[in-house]
Amino acid sequence: MNFASVVPGLSQRFPGSMEVTWTTFNETEESIVEYGLWGGRLFELTAKGKATLFVDGGSEERKMYIHRVTLTDLRPASAYVYHCGSEAGWSDVFSFTALNESTSWSPRFAIYGDMGNENPQSLARLQKETQVGTYDVILHDNGRIGDEFMRQIQSIAAYVPYMTCPGNHEAEYNFSNYRNRFSMPGQTESLWYSWNVGSAHIISLSTEIYFFLDYGVDLIFKQYEWLKKDLEEANRPENRAERPWIITMGHRPMYCSNNDKDDCTLFESYVRLGRNDTKPPAPGLEDLLYLYGVDLELWAHEHTYERLWPVYGYKVFNGSIEQPYVNPKAPVHIITGSAGCRENHDPFVPNPRDWSAFRSTDYGYTRMQVHNTTHLYLEQVSDDQYGKVIDSIWVVKEKHGFSAWF
């Protein structure tokens, strides 16, 4: 079998499951994953799925087959070994740990954006940390799509759920590579979706729909209505009590202090305030996320790291002078787009606005742990400084939701 990219990319579409996705250049009669509990009988379980033909939009019009198989009824927090393929050929053997389904569990995340197949400086450190069990989930914002890149991230994506959101580098041919190569929850071809882990409800958004209008202005309104309904459901009292942390991830930030004239450098940011040049005017995201009490907003696109003070409407709303992230009065924003790519770093303006708390141009990535319903920890790792933690905060919230702002 000719594997284009033997990426058993893992994702969780619903509790107790793991979806395995891989690509071949050849059509096969079956799409199979053989798996079993670590330490048990090897490959004692079998799951079958299906393959779909994908024709790349480039000039070569390459044909490939995207295989998807869902493993169900997994034992929470248990380790499994697996391989994928068919009798025509099998991948290497990989392993994963099924996610714990308890809301009192404290999941650990690696978060990064804008890592390319050229100059992916943070990749080696992330590979090692993933394979020794440092993380339960990867949140990757804007990964360059292509066979070479998919092979690079295999050493991460084959071991833990690899949850993504689209960025500007996936835009070619109407995001077709992204929509076909990744398998996220929901029915939106991975462009936007939400899922639950521990005491957190995580929402992945597409900011790119505000910029690639040729693919349809209606996408802005479709996502906005979906997001509003999702936030309404997450804020039902019984749901917010069980999973009080609401975290969003999107590619282009609403705020940044970079010196590159990107959308986030403008007061009239499309992502933040929407667009008035469409008919009807397209709504932005800031008011909606604030109204439904989103706690943390994760972004990338800028090839730097920046932590903001709690901010809304260009104003700082710290919890207090001494403890700004204890009971903050607005969402906390983190921009983590410095994992490494061919465009290198983006510069900062010399004098940032009041809402900018910490900035770094080091290559690196972010770690996050949702400890419990009131405490969330974030730290920034510098790959330039050999894994040194250069920034860290605890976000503490005794109350969640819109009423927490007052």
Indicate whether 37 and 165 sit together in one domain: no
CATH number of the domain at 86, please. 2.60.40.380
pLDDT of residue 118: 65
Indicate whether 81 and 213 sit together in one domain: no
Quote the domain boundaries for residue 374. Answer: 102-404
Indicate whether 73 and 143 sit together in one domain: no
Indicate whether 349 and 383 sit together in one domain: yes
Q: In sequence order, what are the residues at sequence separation of 6 or more whose Cβ sits closer than 8 angstroms to the Cβ of residue 138?
A: 109, 110, 111, 130, 156, 157, 160, 161, 162, 163
Encoded amino acid at 308, one letter = L
Token readout for 64 is: 């490939």
Encoded amino acid at 183, one letter = S
- Of the candidates 50, 68, 97, which is a domain's last residue? 97
Indicate whether 171 and 44 sit together in one domain: no
Per the structure, how many domains does the chain have?
Answer: 2
- Report how far residue 239's alpha carbon sits from residue 228's, in angstroms, rounded to the nearest whole number: 15
Q: Which parts of 213-337 are beta strand (E)?
A: 245-249, 274-275, 282-283, 296-299, 305-308, 311-312, 315-316, 332-336
- Rounded-to-10 torsion of CA 217, 218, 224, 227: -120
- Of the candidates 97, 128, 151, which is a domain's last residue? 97
User: Which residue shows structure tokens 């900035």?
Assistant: 359
- Report how far residue 395's alpha carbon sits from residue 391's, in angstroms, rounded to the nearest whole number: 13
Indicate whether 166 and 238 sit together in one domain: yes
Summary count for the chain: helices (H), strands (E): 7, 26
pLDDT of residue 2: 44
- Kindly report the backbone phi and psi dihedral angles of residue 105, in degrees, each rounded to the nearest multiple of 5, phi listed first: -70, 150
Q: Are 309 and 318 in contact (CB under 8 A)?
A: yes
- Report how far residue 4's alpha carbon sits from residue 64's, in angstroms, rounded to the nearest whole number: 8
pLDDT of residue 5: 46
pLDDT of residue 343: 62
Q: Are 377 and 371 in contact (CB under 8 A)?
A: yes
- Report how far residue 141's alpha carbon sits from residue 133's, in angstroms, rounded to the nearest whole number: 21
Indicate whether 9 and 136 sit together in one domain: no
Number of neighbouring beta carbons within 10 Å of residue 275:
17
Q: Which tens digits make up the pLDDT trace of 40-83?
A: 999 999 999 999 999 987 778 889 999 999 999 999 999 999 99
Indicate whether 81 and 114 sit together in one domain: no
Indicate whether 201 and 218 sit together in one domain: yes
Q: Are 329 and 310 in contact (CB under 8 A)?
A: yes
Question: How far, rounded to the nearest angstrom, does the alpha carbon of residue 121 sit from its chain's CA centroid?
Answer: 19
Record the pTM: 0.95
Mean per-residue pLDDT pooled into runs of 10, the chain (406 residues): 54 88 91 95 95 85 92 95 92 94 95 76 91 94 65 88 88 83 89 96 97 94 98 98 98 97 97 97 98 98 96 98 98 92 82 97 96 98 96 98 96
- Kindly report the backbone phi and psi dihedral angles of residue 17, in degrees, each rounded to the nearest multiple of 5, phi listed first: -130, 165
- Report how far residue 206's alpha carbon sits from residue 289's, in angstroms, rounded to the nearest whole number: 14
Indicate whether 7 and 76 sit together in one domain: yes
Indicate whether 268 and 135 sit together in one domain: yes
pLDDT of residue 146: 64
CATH number of the domain at 175, please. 3.60.21.10
Indicate whether 89 and 46 sit together in one domain: yes
Helix 147-157 to helix 123-131 angle (10° resolution) is: 40
- Of the candidates 97, 130, 159, which is a domain's last residue? 97
Beta-bridge partner residues of 248: 203, 297
pLDDT of residue 279: 94
